[in-house]
Amino acid sequence: MDVVYLSSINDGVNYQLNDGSGNFSNPYYVDPPTGITSVGNFPLDIDSDGDKDLINIAAINGNPSLRILWWYENQTILDVQESVLKGLSITPNPVAGVLSIKSKTPLKSVSFYQSQGKTLKTVTSSFESIDVTFLTPGIYFVWIEGQEGERVVTTVIKK
């Protein structure tokens, strides 16, 4: 597993490659355009090829309400990791009205984000019956957090 992280020193995305023996390379830096500050990374399988791609959300000119989204496609499949939230199911997807999120791992919260990174709603209970009629049709990122801090980011399609 490689490591991807943000740095407050250079406002960009940094990553280190793992050689398969637990040794990491020196950090590589992805320089953002002038005026862009990275604010979050999310591993997601955007292209449905079985590996985790990297979504980076960045603020424009330091304004957190002006955000953009980058997608770094993972070109290599070495293995497919099991979800850190055991027994996670999200149904139906696509969804029209009520979304059900179930997990054998106790859940703490579920947050819905638009592609620009804006939080639309956070739910802290009744995960098996979440009203999503407030969403307009489109694709949304859903950040699911377990009671012990485990996190999964996935996508949901609103019909």
Average pLDDT value for the chain: 78
pLDDT of amino acid 116: 72
What is the C-alpha to C-alpha distance for residues 18 and 25, in angstroms, rounded to an integer? 7
pLDDT of amino acid 63: 73
- At the topology level, CATH places domain 89-158 in Immunoglobulin-like (2.60.40)
pLDDT confidence band for 85 (50 / 70 / 90): confident
Contact 14, 30 (CB under 8 A): yes
Work out the percent of the chain whose per-residue pLDDT is above 70. Answer: 70
Highest mean pLDDT among 47-51, 82-86, 145-149: 145-149
pLDDT of amino acid 11: 61
Contact 150, 85 (CB under 8 A): yes
Note the pLDDT tens digit of each residue in 24-82.
Answer: 777 777 766 677 777 777 777 766 666 777 777 777 777 767 666 666 666 654 444 45
Where are the strands (E) in 3-137, listed by range?
Answer: 3-6, 13-16, 28-30, 36-44, 53-60, 63-72, 89-91, 98-102, 107-113, 119-123, 130-131
**Residue 39's closest CA among 17, 16, 68, 15?**
68
Positions of CATH 2.60.40.760 in the chain: 89-158
